[in-house]
Amino acid sequence: MLKIMIKITNLTKSYSKTKIVDDLSLEIKKGSIFGFLGPNGAGKTTTIKMLVGLSKPDGGEIKIEDKNISKSREIIGFMPEDPYFYDHLTALEFLQYMGSLFDLPRHPELPHSHPEQSEGSRPRAGGFARFFANAQNDKIGILNKINQLLGLVGLGKAKNQPIEYFSKGMKQRLGLAQAIINDPDYIFLDEPLDGLDPIGRREFKEILLELKKRGKTIFFNSHILSDVEEICDQIGIINKGKLIYSGDVKGFCKNKSLEDAFVDKILTIK
Amino acid sequence: MKNILVIAKNTFKETVRDKILYGILAFALLFLISTTMFGSISLGEDIKVIKDLGLAGIYIFSLIITIFLGSSLIYKELEKRTLYVIFSKPVSVFQFIIGKFMGLWASISLNILLMTAIYLGIVAIKGGGFDYVSLFAILLLIFEIAILIALTILFSTFTTPLAGTIYTIIILYIGHSISITKTFAEKSEPFVRYLLNASYYIFPNLEKFNLRNDVVYGSLPNSAQVIYPIVYSALFTTVLLSLAISALKKQDL
Amino acid sequence: MAGVVSVQYLFDTQKNKLPFREPLILKPEIIKAADLGLDNAAADAAWLSAIQYFGGGESRTSEKLPDYLFLASDLDPKFAYPYAFGALVLPSIKFTDEGIELAKKGVENVKNDWRIPYYLATTYHLNKDDPVNAAKYFDITANTPGVPDGIKKVSTRYGSKSDKREQTKQIWIGIYETTNDEIVKERAKNYLIHFEIMDLLDQASKQYYKINKKYPAELNDLINARILKAIPPDPFGLEFELNQEDGTVSVK
């Protein structure tokens, strides 16, 4: 029986008299992947920004492990939509920067890493084991960890390149990397698969599934329905600020493809 | 606080590598070299002219660098993209603003010192010896720049880079002519006098940081002339940054 | 290529037709309000403009020179050279009083530049024929720190020699030897040549007397008597005449 770890109750947010998020309530179970869907402008990004504490709700509340978001920042990770980074830092420097904003790693000391794994440009499952296993406190340990993380997201070769030369896909990968650098229990992603080619999308999905295997809880916005179909346990559908469905994927689709079911549902509401 | 240092260090790295900055520095170098030409046509007053124009040039270029780096860089962050990545982590607005300020100040100060080194070299080559008195003028310049950096940061929390640049330049001019305002105030009617006196205290009095006209004659400043402006800068900067922190805290990202 | 050359040629001819525009002179208060505290640099700009304006040759008159020099001194009262330069040059372009006023301001504001009182004293001696004030300022010169020995000598000896021409010549020698300023050096040189010519004519006149037992009636007599080959031209374009009674040379 999975526990409810993220609890959203009657969430409301307005901008100049228009309700962007209207009385939204959701429960997300620990260790699950939750996909949040909706047409453009439905309120997905506004919701996720409130979940990670970037904007304040006008009404309702959000609890992660029964605590407010302001107390939970060490254990969450966030990847914004279309992220912008610092042009003149390299990927490595940037991740070192992001990593150092947290307190020291929380996991106990474990065996050494294998450095050659970090050079690859394709993530491998073994890389996961090393990334999550190696949590030494000393500088070299942290550097190794970051190198592994870069290898994991497929940026091993580009780690010393200034970010201004990164393609959109590379920036997405870096975005994911900085979202999981602190080995968070709760990961929030806004359109994580945007701008990736099919190979990239596959790699990302593998990473997300692996993260789930390790007990992470993942909440992500998307409008690429086929991907959502593949990896989500639960979905929520939002339209014009209101939640119109919450539950598992099969229950929603009922033998149709997710896309068809989605479009039908949205059109019937209109 | 560790986070402040981390943010400062990375802000420094990011700003110091800007290519446009190298361009501005190159112009500064050309200008400093050209002061020797002006010196040569000054009928025997070359060292004085080189020093005056050199220090003036360092000042103007420092202002250009500050306004350029201050308004565009902070605005890009406040374009709310890097901010999402920063503030979803355990970083407070206080740490962010102070860290940004420190990083920018360090980076701009480095550039000021580079220009100063070139200036000292030119003065020495032209026979003026090692102009160590000018270092006091440079010291106060660095503290004057601190106020301006805090100002650009404050403006960037609530307005566009262009508007912020214009406001900063206006305050720069007010800051340097403010003492004249005070004497003017004495001659005016009570209401105007009150207004002018108030503005004298509200706007930063930047003329107190100006030793450029004195160091050229070799006169060493006394300790009051150096310590008082530094303290003033620290206090004024603190006020400006506090305002910036409140302004940013209020905002929904 | 032909296009480039013709455009350049047209541009150059156009440029010559445009009237010469002197750089603007603004009030010091305005400049001080606008220059972000860079008063010294503004003073230097005024000074450089003054030199260009005066020595550049394009401007027809030198009327604005006092304005430039006063502006420089308003912006930077400790800037020594404009005071000295003005003291010497302004009187020669009929701005004697302005030159004196400027130099006096200089003597007040600058305590360690001997050139200012020296040139002021020269002006009192030469242009105002005022030995009292000249002596006063020569005295100040002699007591200014850093004054070269030669100058100090001339200054302290002022008034003790009766020969005015010799005295003036010594003053100008002092200036010629100590200045780095091309304009002032040129002026000093011209004075020295001027006095040399007068000395030469004096000697020629005495020689004539030795031969003819009387002084020449006019300068050409010196040539006719084969004492001089020609009358050297005066650098200031002045003409000389002889006093037949005592054979002294003076300016017409």
Distance CA B31, CA B57 (A): 7
Q: Do B81 and A49 touch (CB under 8 A)?
A: no
Spell out which residues of chain A touch residue B69, defining contact as CB-CB under 8 Å: none
Burial of residue B2 (number of CB atoms within 10 Å: 0-12, 13-18, 19+): exposed
Q: Do C38 and B44 touch (CB under 8 A)?
A: no
Q: Is the dihedral of CA C26, C31, C32, C38 positive or negative?
A: negative
Cα B141 from chain centroid (whole Å) = 7
Checking if the pLDDT of C134 tops 50, the result is yes
Tens digits of per-residue pLDDT, B146-180?
999 999 999 988 888 889 899 999 999 888 888 77
Distance CA B86, CA B77 (A): 10
Closest CA to B10 of B95, B116, B112, B113: B95
Closest CA to A79 of A218, A202, A201: A218
Distance CA C32, CA B175 (A): 12
Interface with B, mutate which of A45, A98, A101 (most B CBs under 10 A): A101
* Residue type (1 letter), C147: V
**pLDDT in 10s for each residue of chain A, 270 residues:** 567 788 888 899 988 888 888 889 998 988 999 999 888 878 899 999 999 999 899 989 999 888 888 888 999 999 998 888 888 999 999 999 999 998 755 443 333 333 444 444 444 455 555 555 544 456 677 888 899 899 989 899 999 999 999 999 999 999 999 999 998 999 999 999 988 888 888 999 999 999 999 999 999 998 878 888 888 989 998 888 888 888 888 777 777 777 777 787 777 765
Per DSSP, what are the bridge partners of residue A59?
Answer: A12
| Domains of chain A with CATH codes | 4-45+55-269 (3.40.50.300)
Checking if the pLDDT of C18 tops 60, the result is no
Read off the tokens for C213.
């037992």
Distance CA C239, CA C242 (A): 10
Distance CA C170, CA C187 (A): 14
Read off the tokens for B114.
């580079």
Tell me which chain C residue has its CA closest to the CA of residue B171. Answer: C36
More confident residue, C64 or B33: B33
Closest CA to B117 of B135, B139, B103, B144: B135
Q: What are phi and psi of C133, to 5 degrees?
A: -65, -35
> What value does the mean pLDDT of chain A take?
82
Closest CA to C249 of C175, C169, C195, C213: C195
Spell out which residues of chain C touch residue B213, defining contact as CB-CB under 8 Å: 37, 39-40, 76
Q: Are B48 and B86 in contact (CB under 8 A)?
A: no
**For A73, which of B15, B90, B253 is closest by C-beta distance?**
B90
Q: Are B151 and B175 in contact (CB under 8 A)?
A: no
Tell me which chain B residue has its CA closest to the CA of residue A163. Answer: B14
Burial of residue A39 (number of CB atoms within 10 Å: 0-12, 13-18, 19+): middle
What length does chain B have? 253
Q: Is the dihedral of CA A68, A69, A71, A77 positive or negative?
A: positive
What's the complex ipTM?
0.86
For chain C, domain boundaries: 186-252
Distance CA A127, CA A40 (A): 36
Tell me which chain A residue has its CA closest to the CA of residue B74. Answer: A86
Spell out which residues of chain B touch residue C37, defining contact as CB-CB under 8 Å: 176, 206-207, 210, 212-213
Read off the tokens for B177.
């002519």
